[in-house]
Structure 1
Amino acid sequence: MQKDKKLIIYDIVFLLVTLYFAFSLRFDFNIPQEYMVFLKLSIFPVVVIGLIFNNFFKLYNSIWKYASIEELMSIIYSVTLSNIVFIVYSYFVNYKFLENRYYRFPFTVHIIFWILSVLALGGIRFTYRILEDSKNEKSVETEDKKVLIIGAGDASALIIKEIKRHSNLKYNIVGMIDDDPLKKGKLINGIEVLGGRECIRKICEEKKVEEIILSIPSADLQAKREIINICKSTNCKVKTLPGLYQIIGGKVNISNLREVNIDDLLGRDEVSLNDENINKYIKDKVILVTGGGGSIGSELCRQIARFNPSKLLILDIYENNVYDVQMELNYNYPELYKEIIIASIRDERRISDIFELYKPDVVFHAAAHKHVPLMEENPAEAIKNNIIGTYNVLKCCDKFNVKKFVQISTDKAVNPTNIMGATKRFCEIMVQAFDRVSKTEYVAVRFGNVLGSNGSVIPLFKKQIAHGGPVTVTHPEINRFFMTIPEAAQLVIQAGAIAKGGEIFVLDMGKPVKIVDLARDLITLSGYKPEVDIKIKYTGLRPGEKLYEELLMNEVALTSTEHDKIFVEKPNYVDINFVEKSIEQFRNVVHMNKEDIFKLVAEKVPTYKRKKND
């Protein structure tokens, strides 16, 4: 490791000067001759001993621009041990060179030398840091972006230090906000706590704040929502720390900051799982996840891995995404036996071979085409993948005695107006039909949109904002149900534990959210003004798109389960012969035109009413 040669020279000079001053102070600047001889004989050993211990404690490897308490303690340790060795030296070695006269350092010289050494060695290093900080502060005064920090705790203290050390960030911290009244007026690293959350708007206006940093990783979800909503009204850009784990061991730096997103605003309370029930059907079992590289499938794999299956099979047709999942699981769960299978659920022979080889106990079926407008243009592909592909998996589950099959469904299957929703509704029909004739427990879990999933509206909005707009919304009144990807995956797994067979589970999606409100929130949280800096453009409903989504069939009553966020539709009677005949007809879609395909689907899914939008 590269040594700082300048510091070595400085230390030699300062050690000699402090040794001389230690003697001078002890003898009122009139050192007796005999001690002058002793002093001269001590010069070489003092320097050598000091440099050895300084090197041992890495005082020549540290970057003193970032000096902290740890570096100060290293200086104290080095000087202390150097002095102890020097005391031993002065008592048992030096007398031999003085005509057998036992001259010894007065003990007070050692004390003074220790104090002066700490001051000298520490002073030169911390003076460098102070000079660097002052340079940063001078640049801050003239050019820096004005920043307000929400929260006055450990994370904020570390963030302030980081900002002060990085002048290139161009941040000028105007103050902090904290709801604790005892902290008001107090300073953290020189930054004052200006008041509680009620002061945010006023301070942002008075001090012309441009950016707000949320440094409240331990705050509960409701508190975060309320503070973010206040911040939205300031027209400031908002950034946040991801979570409490970032401050463990002081691991907070500027790279941890990210922009506040819709997950922070719409995210729901943490899901409470019944681990005992889940363990019963996942622990030490062979679990297969189809579509394991997708948004929901990959999160299912992460959640399932927590419950220690004997083997996790991750099946997907697209190798890039599933490779990323594999690398992540290898890192987080190195002991978990996992197998990556590249295959298409459309390939009946291939799927059968996979089931025969691995004999899964539980199957989570997340593989599907889900993009509504694209499937309207390619209805045959939707049928081949969503219906026939699912049929292949259902048949294999029955043939190879799978214990439980869990179908990932969607709110778009309820009174569908598009081909994607209709295919997912037919999958639900097949699930209930197979459950009546098989020993396998077949169930479906239905939920709405998940925040940030592949192909969802949130990533699209972010890209549009990054390009300066406009942000496109199909209709000013369109709304959707939303939940986070982890919540959806956890509830799917929990529903599987509750299932007895034949149910369609419906997840509590909360209240629907207007898409235009999401767009406005994202624009505001990005530091822009909706319709001023970033325009919102209405493009009209797309083919098959509803204004409002439904989560349950109108004609079926919904009943509660043991979990407060999972409800269930009572199983309907579905004849397996109807399914088998329908599949034979669906296999011919490759030879049919679009309109004939839509008519066939309407015959098989009575609740499907095709919607054509201009």
Structure 2
Amino acid sequence: MINAFLNLPRFYKRMISVASDVVVLTLALWVSFGLRFVEFWVPSLEHVMVFSATVVTTVVIFGRMGLYRAVVRFLNDRAFMTIVGCVIASALALVVYGYFFQVQVPRTVPVVYGALAFIFVAGSRMGVRLLVQAPAQRNKIRVAIVGTGDTGRQLASALSHGTEYRPVLFITANSANHRSTINGIPVFDIRHVQKGVARYDVSRVLLALDEDALGDRREILEKLEPVNVPVQTVPSVSELVSGKARINDIRDLEIEDLLGREPVRPDPQLVEATLKGKSVMVTGAGGSIGSELCRQILRHKPKRLVLFEQSEYGLYAIERELKSSNIVGNYGVELHPILGSVTHRRRCEAVMKAFDINIVYHAAAYKHVPLVEHNIIEGVQNNVFGTWHTAEAAIAAGVERFVLVSTDKAVRPTNVMGASKRLAELVLQGLAGRQNGTVFSMVRFGNVLGSSGSVVPLFRDQIRDGGPVTVTHQDIIRYFMTIPEASQLVLQAGAMGQGGEVFVLDMGEPVKIADLARKMIRLMGLTEKTEENPAGDIEITYTGLRPGEKLFEELLIGDNPQGTSHPRVMMAREVSLQWEEVSKLLDRLALASQNFDCERILELIHSAPTGYTPNGDVADLVWCHRIKTVGGTREGDDGKIRVIY
């Protein structure tokens, strides 16, 4: 029957509403007079005329106020306020028509009539809405909302009108609100979350904390881990304001929630003074770090932003995003997408001169440890020679500042990727001593959550696929940052650099990768499968360290870091080389690369002050295959006989 009513043409639904209002308004008039006269009251002809005129006038007012155009199942507070106004007008009409038809209308009757008319009119609509929504509500996923602030209440309202989720419980960190209700939804203290989730049969928990409540986020997540239901989140206020997302866009927990510490905040005034009105170039602009750098830089309103990228699709994607942000934010920044490789010095120099670049952020690099280990020559070409050629181009183009995005793997590296980044640091330190026209600085940070190659999206995919989650070693630990945090640090270091410094971040305690995997399993509503819990959902397996991988990463080579103007940014005191020594090293590396001599490259890296100590043999795939199938020897420039191809 309900479905038959819902499928009626709109005209018939309106006629039913009008007929319903005529009946309930007439009933309200009769009851209001009957209550006044106590005994059973029969209206006179004059009273019938007053009733008819009042009801017709009220229906016309309802129509003019749009009440019959409103969809009953989506009525909101504004619609009920409209009913209040219409009912007041109807009560006044009753007084006017009583005077016009010379019918006595006692003073209490309009008041009683107004109250009854609101109850009958609003109640009939509320009843229809409940009847219509009841079947759909039963089929919705029952959710609990963490947060009773504006974000939580807006989410509850949006979900109530949606088709997928039904909010049945609020969870709050404020114990004073325990056992209260918000819009008819009960509120439970976070300490009683398991009891509330069980009582209301909650299928998932949605995190909807206001921005000023971020300090409670870690503690709340720790208490949600044992609940054994998926924990998800809603977009931030900035995403809602910019139009990138809606309040009911439910998604997995933000990777920042897994970090376990407060993000490091930059000094906005210092960064703004460095970037505003300047011409800025970002190499590797389509990568995870490079693209976030571009987003952050755009907000500081440089004169122009040059996106330098080797990947055509990566460049297309970031340019399209930044164009949209530029228009929405009214930043007025010139955007120039440029295809090119950092290994082509003349291309880099031509671009920097053409756009009169003031600042270069060099984020282009190969950073995946096993892949670089298997492709040694390309890793060195891109990470070492790419940095050198881009830096030389910056000097030739008169660039004011050049900032290298480095890594914690550059400290006492056991892999080619880390060693190549340490060599890149040595190159810039040598160039900083050779000239003083361009200020070179470097910034080191740990693993970036959510970047390409990060363990977080990998673990998430493995959990969704039913496991197992693969961890290389049960004791492996890493420092972690978020992409925005890493990018802000790069901008901060670039603003503080005076020439040749290596900046590092005080990142707090490192994170144990196995613990991170367990945290993700629990927050996705699953349990770990172990010998003690064979009925668990997801198993964690240990695959062994990969080529070039080590258990612990460091941020400093020396033990005496120097403080800076930022409380969480330090300046490392590292060994450096004069440019003459760096130049000779680069010449030898270039010769070894031209000869495709991976073994010689590793020897040169080891002999340089990089701290490189490989934990295995040469793993370059082409090198190893050629040795097996072709082989060959030659005498190197150090007098040693070695295999080549």
**Same topology, TM > 0.5:** yes
Tell me what 2:449 maps to: 451
Whether the aligned pair in 2 keeps the contact of 1:23 and 1:31 (CA below 8 Å) is no
Letter in structure 1 aligned against 2:250:
L
Tell me what 1:99 maps to: none
Letter in structure 2 aligned against 1:53:
R
Pairing of 1:537-556 with structure 2 (within 5 A): 537-554=541-558
Tell me what 1:63 maps to: 71
TM-score (norm 1): 0.86
Q: CA deviation at 1:526?
A: 1.2
Letter in structure 2 aligned against 1:271:
V
Does the C-alpha gap of structure 1 residues 332 and 83 become closer, same or farther in structure 2, counting only changes over 3 Å? farther
The one of 296, 317, 327 aligned to 2:320: 327
Distance (Å, rounded) in 2 between the aligned partners of 1:339 and 1:503 = 29
Tell me what 2:11 maps to: 5
Distance (Å, rounded) in 1 between the aligned partners of 2:577 and 2:240 = 54
Unaligned runs of 5+ in 2: 1-7, 530-535, 620-645
Range 312-321 or range 219-228, more displaced: 219-228
Range 366-375 or range 507-516, more displaced: 507-516
Does the C-alpha gap of structure 1 residues 203 and 79 become closer, same or farther in structure 2, counting only changes over 3 Å? closer
Distance (Å, rounded) in 2 between the aligned partners of 1:117 and 1:366 = 69
SS in 2 for 1:364: strand
Give RMSD over aligned pairs: 3.5
Distance (Å, rounded) in 1 between the aligned partners of 2:203 and 2:19 = 48
Tell me what 1:461 maps to: 459
Distance (Å, rounded) in 1 between the aligned partners of 2:301 and 2:213 = 29
Distance (Å, rounded) in 2 between the aligned partners of 1:533 and 1:290 = 43
The one of 344, 363, 366 aligned to 2:363: 366
Q: Deviations over 1:450-487 (max 9, x none)?
A: 11111111111111111111111111111111111111
Letter in structure 1 aligned against 2:495:
A
Tell me what 1:508 maps to: 506
Tell me what 1:536 maps to: 540
Tell me what 1:295 maps to: 288
Tell me what 1:98 maps to: none
Q: Deviations over 1:132-185 (max 9, x none)?
A: 344356x37xxx76654434444444444455555654x583x44434333222
Does the C-alpha gap of structure 1 residues 361 and 200 become closer, same or farther in structure 2, counting only changes over 3 Å? same
TM-score (norm 2): 0.82
Does the C-alpha gap of structure 1 residues 499 and 529 become closer, same or farther in structure 2, counting only changes over 3 Å? same
Whether the aligned pair in 2 keeps the contact of 1:38 and 1:103 (CA below 8 Å) is no
Does the C-alpha gap of structure 1 residues 279 and 546 become closer, same or farther in structure 2, counting only changes over 3 Å? same
Q: CA deviation at 1:428?
A: 0.3
Whether the aligned pair in 1 keeps the contact of 2:159 and 2:248 (CA below 8 Å) is no
Whether the aligned pair in 2 keeps the contact of 1:46 and 1:86 (CA below 8 Å) is no
Q: CA deviation at 1:295?
A: 1.3
Tell me what 2:4 maps to: none
Distance (Å, rounded) in 1 between the aligned partners of 2:208 and 2:129 = 25
Distance (Å, rounded) in 2 between the aligned partners of 1:547 and 1:298 = 29
Q: CA deviation at 1:442?
A: 0.5
Does the C-alpha gap of structure 1 residues 105 and 69 become closer, same or farther in structure 2, counting only changes over 3 Å? farther
Letter in structure 2 aligned against 1:150:
V
Pairing of 1:337-348 with structure 2 (within 5 A): 337-348=334-345
The one of 181, 188, 194 aligned to 1:187: 181
SS in 1 for 2:308: strand
Letter in structure 1 aligned against 2:362:
H
Distance (Å, rounded) in 1 between the aligned partners of 2:28 and 2:102 = 16
SS in 2 for 1:611: coil
Letter in structure 2 aligned against 1:542:
R
Whether the aligned pair in 1 keeps the contact of 2:62 and 2:68 (CA below 8 Å) is no
Tell me what 1:150 maps to: 146
Pairing of 1:7-406 with structure 2 (within 5 A): 7-17=13-23, 20-21=26-27, 24=30, 25-26=32-33, 29-34=41-46, 36=48, 47=59, 49-50=60-61, 52-55=63-66, 59-78=67-86, 115=115, 117-136=117-136, 139=138, 147-165=143-161, 168-169=164-165, 173=168, 175-194=169-188, 196-201=189-194, 210-218=203-211, 220-243=213-236, 255-260=248-253, 262-334=255-327, 335-406=332-403
Tell me what 1:610 maps to: 614
Does the C-alpha gap of structure 1 residues 46 and 145 become closer, same or farther in structure 2, counting only changes over 3 Å? closer
Distance (Å, rounded) in 2 between the aligned partners of 1:167 and 1:561 = 53
Does the C-alpha gap of structure 1 residues 202 and 60 become closer, same or farther in structure 2, counting only changes over 3 Å? closer
Distance (Å, rounded) in 2 between the aligned partners of 1:184 and 1:424 = 54
Q: CA deviation at 1:426?
A: 0.8
Q: Deviations over 1:492-549 (max 9, x none)?
A: 1111121111111111122111111111111111111112211111111111111111
Does the C-alpha gap of structure 1 residues 366 and 324 become closer, same or farther in structure 2, counting only changes over 3 Å? same
Distance (Å, rounded) in 2 between the aligned partners of 1:321 and 1:33 = 82
Mapped pair 1:426 → 2:419:
no
Does the C-alpha gap of structure 1 residues 37 and 184 become closer, same or farther in structure 2, counting only changes over 3 Å? closer
Q: Deviations over 1:11-66 (max 9, x none)?
A: 4324544565566455865444456567667876665x3364143xxx34433223
Letter in structure 1 aligned against 2:380:
I
Letter in structure 1 aligned against 2:428:
V
Q: CA deviation at 1:375?
A: 0.7
SS in 2 for 1:380: helix
Tell me what 2:408 maps to: 411
Range 439-448 or range 531-540, more displaced: 531-540
Does the C-alpha gap of structure 1 residues 298 and 133 become closer, same or farther in structure 2, counting only changes over 3 Å? same
Q: Deviations over 1:543-600 (max 9, x none)?
A: 111111111114x631111111111123655222333333334334143143233233
The one of 493, 496, 499 aligned to 1:495: 493
Q: CA deviation at 1:236?
A: 2.8
Distance (Å, rounded) in 1 between the aligned partners of 2:315 and 2:88 = 56
Distance (Å, rounded) in 2 between the aligned partners of 1:22 and 1:191 = 32
Range 413-422 or range 33-42, more displaced: 33-42
Q: Deviations over 1:295-339 (max 9, x none)?
A: 111111122222221111121112333333333333333222222
Whether the aligned pair in 1 keeps the contact of 2:284 and 2:362 (CA below 8 Å) is yes
Whether the aligned pair in 2 keeps the contact of 1:262 and 1:521 (CA below 8 Å) is no
Whether the aligned pair in 2 keeps the contact of 1:366 and 1:408 (CA below 8 Å) is yes
Does the C-alpha gap of structure 1 residues 576 and 540 become closer, same or farther in structure 2, counting only changes over 3 Å? same
Whether the aligned pair in 1 keeps the contact of 2:311 and 2:339 (CA below 8 Å) is yes
Q: CA deviation at 1:84?
A: 7.0
SS in 2 for 1:587: helix
Tell me what 2:602 maps to: 598
Q: CA deviation at 1:221?
A: 4.2
Does the C-alpha gap of structure 1 residues 326 and 256 become closer, same or farther in structure 2, counting only changes over 3 Å? same
Does the C-alpha gap of structure 1 residues 212 and 436 become closer, same or farther in structure 2, counting only changes over 3 Å? same
Range 398-407 or range 509-518, more displaced: 509-518
Whether the aligned pair in 2 keeps the contact of 1:268 and 1:483 (CA below 8 Å) is no
Letter in structure 1 aligned against 2:216:
A
Q: CA deviation at 1:401?
A: 1.1
Whether the aligned pair in 2 keeps the contact of 1:406 and 1:496 (CA below 8 Å) is yes
Distance (Å, rounded) in 2 between the aligned partners of 1:393 and 1:87 = 86
Distance (Å, rounded) in 2 between the aligned partners of 1:553 and 1:522 = 32
Tell me what 2:577 maps to: 574
Distance (Å, rounded) in 1 between the aligned partners of 2:55 and 2:515 = 76
Unaligned runs of 5+ in 1: 96-101
Q: CA deviation at 1:192?
A: 2.9
Distance (Å, rounded) in 2 between the aligned partners of 1:504 and 1:23 = 84
Does the C-alpha gap of structure 1 residues 273 and 85 become closer, same or farther in structure 2, counting only changes over 3 Å? farther
Identical counterparts, % of pairs: 34
Whether the aligned pair in 1 keeps the contact of 2:518 and 2:528 (CA below 8 Å) is yes
Aligned pairs, number: 591
